[in-house]
Structure 1
Amino acid sequence: MKKYITFFTLMFVIAITVPFSVFAEENNNALKLAEEAKSAILLEQDTGEILFNKNDQEQLPPASMTKIMTLLLIMEALEEGKLNKEEMIRVSDRAASMGGSQIFLEAGEEMSVNDLLKGVAIASGNDASVALAERISGSEESFVEEMNKKVKELNLENTKFQNTTGLPAEDHYSTAYDMAIIANELLKYETITEYTSVYEDYLRKGQDNEFWLVNTNKLVRFYPDVDGLKTGYTNEAKYCLTATAKRNDMRVIAVVMGAETPKERNAIVSGLLDYAFNQFETNKLFDKDEKITEVQLLKSKKRSIDIVSNQSVSTLHKKGETEKDITTEIVLEEEWDLPVKKGEEVGKLYVKDGEKILSEVPLTVEEDVEKASYLTLLKRTMQEMAKIR
């Protein structure tokens, strides 16, 4: 009888051990190549938590991953109404003269913002990048100033841009960490993946100079759920890639810099994505633009102001772990300097595990907040006085 008990006990131990051993081995293999990378990082979007990093602060040439910042400023201009997708842009001599990857724009040609955006996001067109930069800022040089200004706004200490394209230039550098942060900021404009996820498309469809766009990021086609973001290559930078994928409400960003071959680059990123989706999951607390709270403002035209988060809010944990005791704390500005523009930060949402702050998320106003007129203020003041009596 004891022999049977021992046999079944052994079989049970094998049954529960083998899957975990295989699972652990798969995760080790997924990270093996990443450990050998020159520079790499894996970031979860909502929490900003770093799941893996290797030399992520090393300053390296980012090549065409530079265009992630270019795309960020383009999306900002669209959001702010400084640009619209249907607008036709006349291509300058300078934009048409850009070398490297291009969509072969001709000087004097007119192309819509929407098609130029496709040219940048899908085909990494240097000419399209410069054409859009010149339209937004007047010149590429002025646009680059805005790029570096944005770097400072994001508190990035190891990035400096000299052009919009990533073509080789002295004193043009970034890091895996900084590229992940810029990518995270770009992905807040959720429509960007409508461009970066496209594997192939056409420009000038049906015309003699029709151009076939093919995404430089092959993982868009060959890795499930990858919907961006940007490749890069120069002789100095080697093969680079910032990729993003979303599965079950969890979006992650993987960056690799300095790989020797495109195959190695894609394998490292694929391994990082495998690791993220095999090991971790998120619990969503709030959707992007969901109302978090409201505030009553005596001096605003509209008395009740909705406060929202400009990004989705989640917690992150390893699969199989019990959920943490999560709480949230809202801290709003005490004094408001009206008017306040839509999207302007007016406070923070803190996600906590006990006293430990897991993440802090900017809170913004859902719409423009205008000053109340003198008559409205007088009326409200009298109402408040009547309540006191």
Structure 2
Amino acid sequence: MVGTGCRIVYGKADISLNERAENFTSDNTAASPEEQEKTTEPAAPDDALVQAPSALLMEASTGTVIYEKDSDTRRSPASITKIMTLILIFDALENGTLKMDDLVTTSAYAKSMGGSQVFLEEGETQDVETMIKCIVIASGNDASVAMAEHIGGSEQEFVRQMNERAAGLGMENTHFVDCCGLTESTDHYTTVRDIAIMSRELITKYPKILEYSSIWMENITHVTRQGSKEFCLTNTNKLLRSYDGCIGLKTGSTSLAKYCVSAVASRNNITLISVVMAAPDYKVRFKDAAAMLNYGFSKCSFYTDENPEKLPQIEVRKGTKPTTEIKYEKNFQYLSTDGKTIGEVERKLNLETQVQAPVKEGDVAGTLEYYQNGQKLGEVNILFSETIEKATYKNCLEKLLKLL
């Protein structure tokens, strides 16, 4: 299983594909060679938009659901399970318990995984970054289990953490049994809504994953007792080649789950997550995902207030300081899904010129409201930047002495 002529290729780059890439096994079960599928015309927002029984389209930055079909029915996710596995990996990287250059050793159990794999040998070591690529590009079950054991001590403990993380995200109809989705247990389930939620968590909290999920092919090197050999990782997400703007994320297929995908695409500063479950074949899986993305991009426009008006200082009466700084909680964003371009937006500042001490850092001082044609689009909170206590008699005396 030695890949040759393989190099790092991002997104839709024009490349010559070797025979391995064209005939690479789809994740978790064998599939026929996948041809490019293109859907360019936006469709109507009804059940005819997709053929698959369950589908959902979400805008990533706001979490707005633009289209959904049977979105809360529990189904087997196959390798889309690995999105949660990746979240836990990046959680560990963020909290410092894991580093990209840490070495991960493959156990006999991890090596024994069937389905899609990168053929890690027992005792073989790879760094964490390589393992991430093996998981998100080639959907390696062996790499997933090796990482689960490295982080959790055992796959069972890691899966417990997966379920805990899912609950924390509000994924009410999700339960994991393994870390890779290879199981045929009916206790391993999720929904298109929950997949969109965890996909959004991964790409917004850890956008670096998109650097890996957009790689089409890349070589890794196996170093074992038998020697050194190269192996070519080939992405299971064919939308990378066929859909303009696709940058990830994960496919899945088993006999129980049928064909699933969570696809991420970005155009004109809008990022959409298109989730399909239980499609009858791989062509429908990608065609449905593309149809939803086309619909979303045809309907969505985004307004972001990058330069809100400068905020004044506020007078603090009877405080230990005479004034306080204030700040916006965040930049205001508004997503329109009616297919119309957002025109001129008006702003209305609601803010008192003075407040009574005490004031606490982070408390709401006022709001900045946004309107279009008299209709309110939303608002952003204005917060106190510091805590100012109420002045005591001692404070007043000290202040008087300074003046004298």
Which interval holds the TM-score relative to the shorter structure? 0.7 to 0.9
Are the equivalent residues in 1 in contact too, given 2:245–2:266 (CA < 8 A)? yes
Looking at structure 2, the residues matched to 304 and 191 of structure 1 have their Cα atoms a distance apart, in angstroms, of 34
- Which amino acid counterpart does residue 198 of structure 1 have in structure 2? I
Are the equivalent residues in 2 in contact too, given 1:180–1:253 (CA < 8 A)? yes
Are the equivalent residues in 2 in contact too, given 1:60–1:175 (CA < 8 A)? yes
- Alpha-carbon distance, 1:129 to partner: 0.8
Higher mean displacement: 72-81 or 320-329: 320-329
1:209 and 2:229 matched: yes
| Secondary structure in 1 matching 2:61 | coil
Looking at structure 2, the residues matched to 259 and 351 of structure 1 have their Cα atoms a distance apart, in angstroms, of 43
Higher mean displacement: 115-124 or 35-44: 35-44
Q: How does 1:122-161 map to 2 (within 5 A)?
A: 122-161=137-176
- Which amino acid counterpart does residue 187 of structure 1 have in structure 2? I
- State the Cα deviation string for residues 192-238 of structure 1 (Å, max 9, x = none): 10111101101107974311100000111221111110000010110
Percent identity at matched positions? 37
- Alpha-carbon distance, 1:34 to partner: 3.2
1:41 and 2:60 matched: no
- What's the counterpart of residue 261 of structure 1? 281
- Which amino acid counterpart does residue 282 of structure 1 have in structure 2? F
| Secondary structure in 2 matching 1:209 | strand
- State the Cα deviation string for residues 57-81 of structure 1 (Å, max 9, x = none): 1111111101111111111111111
- What's the counterpart of residue 334 of structure 2? 315
- What's the counterpart of residue 22 of structure 1? none
- What's the counterpart of residue 212 of structure 2? 195
* Structure 2: runs of 5+ lacking an equivalent: 1-39, 314-318, 351-358
Match of 1:186 among 181, 192, 202: 202
Distance 1:228 1:322, change over 3 A: closer
Looking at structure 1, the residues matched to 50 and 368 of structure 2 have their Cα atoms a distance apart, in angstroms, of 33
Distance 1:58 1:118, change over 3 A: same
Are the equivalent residues in 1 in contact too, given 2:124–2:222 (CA < 8 A)? no
Looking at structure 1, the residues matched to 300 and 345 of structure 2 have their Cα atoms a distance apart, in angstroms, of 18
- Which amino acid counterpart does residue 264 of structure 2 have in structure 1? T
Looking at structure 1, the residues matched to 232 and 211 of structure 2 have their Cα atoms a distance apart, in angstroms, of 17
Are the equivalent residues in 2 in contact too, given 1:41–1:256 (CA < 8 A)? yes
What is the alpha-carbon root mean square deviation over aligned residues? 4.1
- Alpha-carbon distance, 1:159 to partner: 0.6
- What's the counterpart of residue 6 of structure 1? none
- What's the counterpart of residue 193 of structure 2? 177
- What's the counterpart of residue 67 of structure 2? 52
Looking at structure 1, the residues matched to 107 and 162 of structure 2 have their Cα atoms a distance apart, in angstroms, of 21
| Secondary structure in 1 matching 2:253 | strand
Q: How does 1:300-379 map to 2 (within 5 A)?
A: 314-317=333-336, 318-323=338-343
* Structure 1: runs of 5+ lacking an equivalent: 1-24, 337-344, 366-376
1:75 and 2:90 matched: yes
- Which amino acid counterpart does residue 260 of structure 1 have in structure 2? P
1:238 and 2:253 matched: no
TM-score normalised by L of structure 2: 0.71
- Alpha-carbon distance, 1:158 to partner: 0.5
Give the count of matched residue pairs: 332
- Which amino acid counterpart does residue 97 of structure 2 have in structure 1? K
Distance 1:382 1:237, change over 3 A: farther
Which has the bigger relative contact order, CA under 8 A and spacing at least 6?
2
Looking at structure 1, the residues matched to 260 and 397 of structure 2 have their Cα atoms a distance apart, in angstroms, of 65
Are the equivalent residues in 1 in contact too, given 2:80–2:251 (CA < 8 A)? yes
Distance 1:304 1:326, change over 3 A: closer
Are the equivalent residues in 1 in contact too, given 2:155–2:179 (CA < 8 A)? yes
TM-score normalised by L of structure 1: 0.73
Looking at structure 1, the residues matched to 134 and 127 of structure 2 have their Cα atoms a distance apart, in angstroms, of 11
